Every structure is written in C-alpha cells, then in structure tokens.
C-alpha cells in the first residue's frame, strides 16, 4: 500500500486530521490499519510490530489508546 504515496506524509499532521474527524472515520481508519497489518502473513509479525510501537509510546499515550481494545463483560 505504501507504494501509492508520492512522498513521505507528515504523520503528525495526518494524526491531527484524524483526531478531529468523527468516530465513523476514525473506526474506518483503524479497521483499514488492522486489515493491512493482517495482510503481512502471520499474526506474530503484527504482534511484533505493535509491540515495537508500544515501546515508543508514553505510559499516558498507552493508557489513552487502551480504550481501543476495551471489552465489555
């Protein structure tokens, strides 16, 4: 998918745009992100990549993102 980009995007700008959209657009983004990750071949590869991302986030950022995987009991 990255081959369709003409230049390196400004990820901070992209994130700011995404943060200011609605929940439908944000859910569409995360759904597409997960779908792309799952196309890599193995679940292990996806886990490793997300683990490396997790290491680069602050504790507060991880806490904020925890709602993305929250499950009601």
Within a domain: residue 1?
Answer: no
Which structural domain range is residue 16 located in? 9-69
- Please give the average per-residue pLDDT across 34-58, as a whole number: 96
Torsion of CA 37, 49, 40, 14, to 10 degrees: 40
- Please give the average per-residue pLDDT across 29-48, as a whole number: 95
Q: For position 8, what pLDDT does the model report?
A: 85
φ, ψ at 10 (rounded to 5°): -85, 100
Within a domain: residue 54?
Answer: yes
Within a domain: residue 3?
Answer: no
Within a domain: residue 22?
Answer: yes
pLDDT classification of 26: cutoffs 50, 70, 90: very high
Within a domain: residue 61?
Answer: yes
**Total domains, the chain:** 1
pLDDT classification of 71: cutoffs 50, 70, 90: confident
- Please give the average per-residue pLDDT across 42-60, as a whole number: 97
């Amino acid at each position: 998918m990255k081959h369709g980009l003409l230049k390196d995007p400004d990820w901070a700008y992209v994130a700011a745009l995404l943060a200011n959209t609605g929940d439908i657009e944000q859910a569409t983004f995360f759904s597409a992100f997960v779908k792309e990750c799952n196309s890599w071949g193995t679940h292990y590869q996806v886990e490793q990549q997300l683990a490396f991302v997790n290491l680069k986030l602050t504790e507060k950022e991880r806490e904020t993102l925890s709602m993305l995987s929250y499950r009601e009991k």
